[in-house]
Amino acid sequence: MYCTGVEDIPLYLCVSVWTNEPCPNLINNLFRAGYFGFVLVCGFYDEKIGDKGMYSLEISDVWKNYQTRNKEKIAVLKGLNLQVKEGEMVAVMGPSGSGKTTLLNIISGVDRSDQGSVWIDGQCLSEMNKAELALFRRRRLGMIFQDFNLIESLSVKENVLLPMILDKKPAEEQEEQAEKILKILGIEDTQAHNITEISGGEKQRAAIGRALINNPALILADEPTGNLDSKSTREVMNYFLRVNREFGSSFLMVTHDTFAASHCHRALLLKDGEFLAEEQRKGSNKEFLDSLTEMLTLIGSEQDDIL
């Protein structure tokens, strides 16, 4: 695969990671700079989350250390344990520098932990080589990002279908899946539009569709409402709920936004590389939102108030 010009760089970056083709120095620098996004891609709860023994994600005793210029070792993640049941929506909250992006990088297989294990859909990521990880990410992980990471030279539908195109799925299967997902997300009327012609909320819905298109075992969302206004945030979170109900999708969402987190089944507070608190949904969104706000206030964490 070759870049023919500057305009091809976003596509090249995305496909390089999905297919494990070379672009190592640039990709590595982007990841180390925190550009996790280049990996590619309300009421009461009474739905079943799934069998207690079935987990979409299990991380056990995960540690990650970085070395300073003075060769001092700093622990960024400190023995984290987390399980996400099938069909469960979980939010991870915390201030900047708490280890949230590092955690997502490790769960997605972009980075390796120094100790501990990560299991997704019953498969251990630490036992996979780079090629196996790239294939696993493309087929079993969905990813949603703050900056959308959509390819502007493609239409809405083409962006949504990108994982299936890269996986060389039959055209008939692509059309059937795209029609279903575009309709559920309310963007069937804009499917032929260029990405530059749609709103921020519609872009995020297209990103949700891309994450969902291959029926992943787990969807990772990195600050998915960070670039949206309050109206678009409400719309996007309602679509998260609809996808969760209709597809049984499991979500792990990193966010500063207490309103977005209040749509999940539970939320954990990550600070200085450790989970310090956890809140379980009890009752309505408003009641859960109040609990999350209190939790963050007690620990002195940063928070966004989108009400």
For the sheet containing 218-222, what is the strand order? 141-145, 218-222, 251-254, 89-93, 266-271, 274-280
Residue 225 dihedral angles phi and psi, to the nearest 5°: -110, 10
Q: Pick the more confident residue, 21 or 89.
A: 89
Check residue 74 and give its pLDDT.
92
Q: Is the dihedral of CA 193, 135, 103, 86 positive or negative?
A: positive
User: Which domains does the chain possess?
Assistant: 6-299 (3.40.50.300)
Judge residue 288's burial from the number of C-beta atoms within 10 Å of its C-beta, 0-12 exposed, 13-18 middle, 19 or more buried. buried
Q: Pick the more confident residue, 159 or 38.
A: 159
Rounded Cα–Cα distance for residues 223 and 102 (Å): 14
Sequence-distant (≥ 6) Cβ neighbours of residue 18 within 8 angstroms: 40, 41, 134, 137, 138, 163, 166
Among the listed residues 115, 53, 63, 60, the one whose alpha carbon sits nearest the alpha carbon of residue 85: 53
Asked if residues 82 and 268 have their Cβ atoms less than 8 Å apart, the reply is: yes
**Region 123-148: what's the mean pLDDT?**
90
Q: Pick the more confident residue, 194 or 20.
A: 194
Residue 275 dihedral angles phi and psi, to the nearest 5°: -80, 115
Helix (H, G, I), strand (E, B) or coil at 155: strand
Rounded Cα–Cα distance for residues 17 and 149 (Å): 13
| Mean per-residue pLDDT over the chain, rounded | 82
pLDDT tens profile 159-173 = 999 999 988 899 999
Return the number of other C-beta atoms located less than 10 Å from residue 254's C-beta: 24
Share of the chain above pLDDT 70, in %: 79
CA dihedral 279, 81, 110, 32 (to 10 degrees): 70
Return the number of other C-beta atoms located less than 10 Å from residue 125's C-beta: 21
Per-residue pLDDT at 80 exceeds 70: yes
**Region 288-302: what's the mean pLDDT?**
80
Per-residue pLDDT at 26 exceeds 80: no
What's the predicted TM-score (pTM) here?
0.78
Asked if residues 64 and 111 have their Cβ atoms less than 8 Å apart, the reply is: yes
